[in-house]
Chain A
Amino acid sequence: MYIPSDTTSLFAGKSFLIIDDFQGMRSLLREMLKSFGTKNIDTVTNGKEAIAFLEKNKYDVVLCDYNLGSGKNGQHVLEEAKYRDLIGLATAWIIITAEKTADLVFGAAEYMPDDYIIKPVNEATMRSRLEKVLARKEMLVDIEKAMRDKNYDRTIALCDKALASAKVNATELQRIKTSTLLTMGRYDRAQQEFEQILAKRDIPWAKTGLGKAFFYKGELARAQQIFREVIDGNPAYLEAHDWIAKTYEKAGELEEAQRALTRCTELSPNSVIRQKSLGEIAHKRGDLETAESAFRKTIKLGQFSIHKTPAAYLGLAKICSENDAPAEALQILKDAHKEFENAETSLHVKVVEGMVYQKSGDRINAEKVSKEVAGLVKADNGHRAASIMLEAAQLFLATGNKEAAESITQTIVKNNHENTELLAQLNDLYDQAGMSEQGEELVNKSRQEVIAINDRGVIMAKEGKLDEAIHLLSEARTMLPDNKRIMINLANMAAMSMRQNGKNSELMQIAGECLRQVAQLDPQEKWCAQFQIALDAIPD
């Protein structure tokens, strides 16, 4: 017969938080922990109290029931705690649940609990899981730190080191290593690793990973085939559904993408992000009924979630406007303005408000809002998401605000001169306004201006006039704060200069700012990870 090991020493010094709405379960868990030798135990009954306790105290282990009655559920609490850094890397979070759901098992890695226990909870399982989770946390603490610091080379080196010695947790280390390779843009290396794992065993995560590598390499048909195979073998494997939807969308097969996203929302009915994606695809396809229902669900689900998003409000307002219900549209925009207090959302809300008035035939208000938007854009110096600026341009054209339209068009083009899709959309706007020629001329002229500046900088750098080139592109960057090409070239020049002349705090700052800004604009940009490595390699 198995005799449990003496765990008193392991549990005695640890602090626990129990989150459960059910009195019977709270005392059951508390008694269990006490019998393991734990003395430091707090209990709370709902998500709000849990957050308040997490704000004040540090815990080694959190035991959290998934279902917490009305209000936040266990997953919401976990996501908020991670998002707001209320728990450290060493805190183990265990979700206790009546039933295993796709969300819990296959959810987003960054918001996964460290383990889940399915009810009924018994002492044996609880003790064995706690031991395992605490040991794993300890082993992974360095790796998790490297991951949080975005130190990818170190993450991989630490994984390799641990993989060489440890037999247990090999899967977890392989998962971290391969996903880091994908983040770094090293797709061939990642593909190799996945294929090696799959040669031994068919494992859904590794196969899905292989599909992702092909997706990033642009081999969409192959990626699609692989995701399909994962789904056939494991119909509830959420991640493969997410990715097949992404693959269809990228390939322009919107109907298939919508079907896949519908399946995602069936498997994961509480996901704010998936409902939002479904709403956006359906809206894009003109399936207003589906889009409306998805956006309404997104708003409702977002009530308790850190993933709540203005996009759902704006999308819903646009649909109401298209359905000739301007009063409801304006009310939704008001709600959005109240829920999200940031400058970007305020601007976006204003833009949509203007379009709602315009569509309803209220020209006076449309023109008034259009002028307000022009003022906001000017004050922002064009430093807003391109998609919002594009909508603002549409509003200016629709309300006959020619001056503002011309100015914003120049800003958009100059900040995104290599984004052909965006430039085509801009040309379309002018076509629709019956100003095709003016549009094309404006776009081309603005594009040429940026190319000229950039080329001048590159030539100067080649001629060895690095300081002058850096000066030129730094100035260009102030004017065009979102232009990726200019930032990449500028950062590369700064790094080159430091390799020649040694580290320099001013150049370091320029390089760092460009890197962060490019990563924010385009998380898929491969250059970022490579440049981070190059930057780390510059000697002091």
Chain B
Amino acid sequence: MDQTKEPAPDLSAFLASAVHDMKNSIGILINFLETNLPELAPDAQEKAAPMLYEVKRVNDNLIQMLAIYKIGNRFYPFDLVENSIGEFVREIAEQNKTLLEYSGITLDVDCDESLTWYFDHELISGVICHALNNAMHYTKDRLRLSVKEEDGELVIRVEDNGSGYPNSVLEAGNAVSKGVNFSSGSTGLGLYFSSMVAKLHNNRGRTGGIFLENGGKFGGSCFIMRLP
């Protein structure tokens, strides 16, 4: 039989059910690691902690690919609602608490508690968790998450005290913010996702964006997202 005549399967149906299964499994893995890490002996803890980092990367990538697929096909239910910045930042800090502790990294949080802002909770939380996870990889021992209003825009900064982004990443970030298309490795996926999410956020003629630079409060790399 001619193989080319075989009809292509409807991948989207598989995708949805596969994601459903994978998310259940990842949830249980993350929860298992977070509950059981404290009970391990110190040297075992040191060996097991990076597994949590790896599982979170899998989760990030899954979220990113699914969102990109859906946004591209005009199926993503973009849920623009008012979020309390205090609550949002607390949730993010709490979600990353275990990993930070075991990696010996301090997270400084600097935000305007009383502020509220319109954005899609799932997408922005996906972008920020991904940025934090990245920064954990590059930092020495300290991160800073700041969320402030500047010129009528919400500015979210993730900064670290590492040695900063290499030039290639800065260039990729620069290209993305100028709308240039590129594709290379996992930096590519993360940046593409973050930039796509930022651009979905519009208000009265202004559009969101992401920016990469070196410097910030600790002199390391800074991931910046601006939302109108």
Contacts and interface: CB of A to CB of B under 8 A. Distances in A.
Contacts of A123: 31, 34, 94
A203 B84 CA distance: 17
A100 interface: yes
B24 A22 contact: yes
Given A25-B24, A98-B23, A171-B82, A125 B95 contact: yes
A124 B95 contact: yes
A100 B77 contact: yes
B122 A118 contact: yes
A234 interface: yes
Nearest to B86: A2
Residue of A99, A125, A170 ringed by the most chain B CB atoms within 10 A = A99
Indicate the size class of the contact surface on chain A: 35 or more
A202 interface: yes
Contacts of A118: 122
A67 interface: yes
A56 interface: no
Contacts of A234: 78, 80
B24 to A, nearest CB: 6
A238 B16 CA distance: 19
A537 interface: no
B109 A120 contact: no
Given A100-B77, A104-B77, A203-B80, A28 B28 contact: yes
Nearest to A104: B77
Nearest to B16: A99
Interface string B93-127: 11101000000000101000000101000100000
Contacts of A170: 82
A104 B31 CA distance: 25
Interface in B34-90: 34, 59, 66, 70, 74-82, 84, 87, 90
Interface in A64-121: 67, 98-102, 104-106, 118-121
A100 to B, nearest CB: 6
Contacts of A1: 93, 97, 107
A28 B19 CA distance: 19
Contacts of A119: 23-24, 26-27
Contacts of B90: 2, 124, 128
A74 B24 CA distance: 16
A233 interface: yes
Contact of A4 (B24, B26, B94, B95): B94
B188 to A, nearest CB: 23
A236 B74 contact: yes
A105 B80 contact: no
Contacts of B59: 120
B118 A201 contact: yes
A249 to B, nearest CB: 23
Interface in A201-225: 201-204
A125 B121 CA distance: 12
A502 interface: no
Contacts of A120: 23-24, 26-27, 30-31, 59
A2 B16 CA distance: 35
A24 interface: yes
A235 interface: yes
Contacts of B28: 24-25, 28
B171 interface: no
Given A28-B31, A105-B79, A120-B26, A128 B122 contact: no
A419 B70 CA distance: 45
Contact of B80 (A101, A204, A266): A204
B202 A202 contact: yes
A168 interface: yes
B122 A100 contact: yes
A201 B203 contact: yes
A106 B74 CA distance: 15
Contacts of B66: 99
Given A2-B109, A122-B34, 12 more contacts: A1-B97, A22-B24, A67-B20, A99-B23, A99-B66, A100-B122, A122-B95, A128-B91, A170-B82, A234-B78, A236-B75, A238-B77
6 contacts: A24-B24, A28-B27, A100-B122, A120-B26, A132-B87, A238-B77
- Per CB-CB distance, the 6 closest pairs between chain A and chain B, nearest first, are A120-B27, A124-B94, A235-B74, A98-B20, A119-B23, A105-B77
